[in-house]
Amino acid sequence: MTEEQQSFFERLDQLGSGERAALRRAAGVTLPEAGSAALSAFYRCLPAYVGERMADRWFAVACLRCLWDSGRTEGTPLEKLIAELLRSGALSDSTEHRVELILDTRWEQDGYLLTKLTRLVKLTRQKSDRVMIDFAALLEDLIFWNGAAQSVQRKWARAVFGKEIKESEGKE
């Protein structure tokens, strides 16, 4: 996580409860459709170097981060949390199909991927006993989501659909 990203998350955590609530209510809403309370809270936290082309991804992560209490910093990457919940049986097999749909979708301004991702985050929050997601990792993934090599999608697919490696395996 860069210093600017860390500062962004710290500023989010320092927002008042009303501002955090405005961002929480905007979870799943695209930046152009967001209300003024969410926008003012978001732009108060956004680093100056983030351009309009990437601001929507930062906004999405800010809103999702506000679903959790402020001050919590340790987290698990979303794709690993999904894999753990699937393997434990806390999530149904239909969640695998949801992940497949997300992996086939590009980040666009219409908010389709954002809607699917928000539902998945809320589902994992509900099923994971409020385990914190690593939002810095999620932000990084969303920034590179549309990359030509699809490295983010491959990383998620490997985590969710790959075989779990046990400690004793591979140490021969």
* Whole-number pLDDT of residue 3: 87
* Maximum Cα interatomic distance, the chain, rounded to a whole number of Å: 59
Q: Which helix (H) or strand (E) holds 143?
A: helix 135-143
pLDDT one-digit tens code per residue, 85-109? 999 998 888 999 999 999 999 999 8
* Residue 131, pLDDT score: 85
What pairs with residue 76 in β-bridges? 133
Position 166 scores a pLDDT of 54
Percent of the chain exceeding pLDDT 70 equals 93
> How far apart, in whole angstroms, are the C-alpha atoms of residue 3 and residue 22?
25
Whether 172 shows a pLDDT value over 60: the answer reads no
Query: Could you identify the residue written with the tokens 């086939």?
Result: 104
State residue 7 phi and psi, 5-degree precision.
Answer: -65, -40
User: Where in the chain are the domains?
Assistant: 3-65, 78-161
Please give the model's pTM, rounded to 2 decimal places.
0.90
CA torsion sign for 17, 18, 22, 25 is positive
Alpha-carbon span 55 to 112, nearest angstrom: 16
Residue-wise pLDDT for 129-163, tens only, equals 678 899 999 999 999 999 999 999 999 999 999 87
Q: Encode 32-63: b = buried (16+ Cβ within 10 Å), e = exposed.
A: eebeeebbebbeebbeeebeeeeebbbbbbbb
Amino acid, single-letter form, for residue 140 = E
Say yes or no: domain 78-161 is CATH 1.10.520.40: yes
Would you state the structure tokens that stand for residue 140, as one six-digit string?
Answer: 């990084």
d(CA 9, CA 20): 12
- What's the distance, Cα to Cα, between the start and end of the chain in Å? 34
